[in-house]
Amino acid sequence: MNSYKIDGFDYCELYVSNAKQAAHFYHSTFGFYPIAYCGLETGSRDRVSYVLKQNQIKFLLTSPLNNNSEISKHIYNHGDGVKDVSFTVNDAEAAWKESIERGAESVRKPHLLSDEKGEAIIATIKAFGDTSHTFVQRNNYNGVFLPGYDVFENNLTGDPSGLIHIDHIVGNQPNGEMQTVCNFYEKVFGWHRFWTVDDKDISTEFSALRSIVMANDNEKIKMPINEPADGLRKSQIQEFIDYYNSPGIQHIAMTTKDIINTVSKLRDKGVQFLETPKTYYESLTERIGEIDEDLDQIEDLGILVDKDEKGYMLQIFTKPIQDRPTLFYEIIQRKGSNSFGKGNFKALFESIENEQKIRGNL
């Protein structure tokens, strides 16, 4: 039992080389809005951050303002990527203290942030590689993000794309490290193993992976942990590790209530998705039965469908959103199913392998 409660994902912080331009990208393609800002104008001397929001999803895009900070070193090592996955908690000090007692390494001790809008306490521990977890506790805080951030004034137009909340966030590990990281989440946070696949379930002619989904007690947090498995060629997980130079966050899955509408909008705005082979749709109805959505539209948009005993789910994956083949996004609509799309892994892998081949990494 934990002495504190995790309510859900809070924000994801990405270290990027040009936060101003990245903020524009997240607005113009995914339909996020910048709501808060800190930088030189607000008294932040070493970094600039934009908070981007859509419904319950928040991204913090951070760039360094000098060349010898941990932020610039992180970008030098990993390229643009996710630095921190934060959790909303009712007691950040207890969460930090308990994690440290159970073997986690501290990155930032609990400290109080305050401004005229109220107070928050944040604390950070190491997760895997250079990735960390921050505990966020707001006390009667009525600003838009956290103390220290100004409201970002803008006259941006355009509509949101219907992304609602974060469904899961996936961490890639080097071969042989998956169990160690899952043990860490069990020991430090008391999380449980929600779902597992091994290389017998998900392999193609060329590559394979193993994955364990870790979940907290209320299952609002789900973090699949992957590692590569031996195949004839290089696993996509190994390709990630090679370019990120360490374990790290591979993808963030965001939910929608209308995947056809959302993916149509994203495609119109220039988001690139992995291609689904046409053969995937030939026996789709046989595999999954009747669904509410129009199958022609599903096929046109390249959306994947999978089912389990509780229902079905629709999902699609973007191509990497920076030049290195590292971080990408998943768009997911759940209609009863809590699964992670095991039935889609083969089609998905074949599509990723095709991209790897074009990159010369297969």
Applying CB under 5 A, which residues contact Fe ion?
A: 253, 330
Least Å distance, CB 271 to Fe ion, is: 16
Give bridge partners of residue 331 from the DSSP assignment. 254, 316
Residue with tokens 């495609």: 267
| 75 vs 259, beta carbon nearer Fe ion | 259
- In angstroms, the CA 91 to CA 93 distance is 6
- In angstroms, the CA 5 to CA 24 distance is 34
Least Å distance, CB 341 to Fe ion, is: 7
| 80 vs 330, beta carbon nearer Fe ion | 330
| 212 vs 253, beta carbon nearer Fe ion | 253
Least Å distance, CB 125 to Fe ion, is: 24
| 149 vs 240, beta carbon nearer Fe ion | 240
- Tell which residue, 352, 120, 116, 160, has the closest CA to residue 256: 160
Least Å distance, CB 182 to Fe ion, is: 16
SS3 (DSSP) at 31: coil
Least Å distance, CB 139 to Fe ion, is: 34
DSSP structure class, residue 280:
G
Least Å distance, CB 227 to Fe ion, is: 15
Give the pairing type, strands 47-54 and 106-115: unpaired
* CA 232 to the chain's CA centroid: 28
The string of DSSP codes covering 214-250 is EE-TTS--EEEEEEEE--SS--HHHHHHHHHSS-EEE
Token pair for residue 281? 């749709």
- In angstroms, the CA 3 to CA 58 distance is 26
| 204 vs 250, beta carbon nearer Fe ion | 250
| 149 vs 340, beta carbon nearer Fe ion | 340
- In angstroms, the CA 256 to CA 313 distance is 11
